Amino acid sequence: MTRRPRPHYPMRPAWLCRNCAAPWPCAPAQLHLATEFYGHSIALAFYLAAHMQDAVDDLYSLGVRPDPRALHARFLGWLSLTRRPHRADLR
């Protein structure tokens, strides 16, 4: 019997991946999210922005002063890589 792979979900309040302990969203989580939200990049951006705000709140509650640029790069900076080209972009 084979085991199902464990999902790469965030572990709060540290915002590390429950599976690989990398900062969430880790690379496997990014791939899963890009696949799950394929064609809905704005919804994905809102979803991740909400998680980023939760991470900021959690980190402040832990006494950590989060770096806004690093959090933006981590949560939202990779989204441009998942964008599908528009028909106008293909010309």
Residue type present at position 77: G
What pLDDT does 83 receive? Answer: 57
State the Cα–Cα distance between residues 16 and 59, nearest whole angstrom. 12
**Predicted TM-score (pTM) of this structure:** 0.81
- Do 8 and 20 contact (CB within 8 A), yes or no? yes
State the Cα–Cα distance between residues 72 and 75, nearest whole angstrom. 5
Residue stretches of the chain with pLDDT short of 50: none
Eight-state DSSP code of residue 36:
H
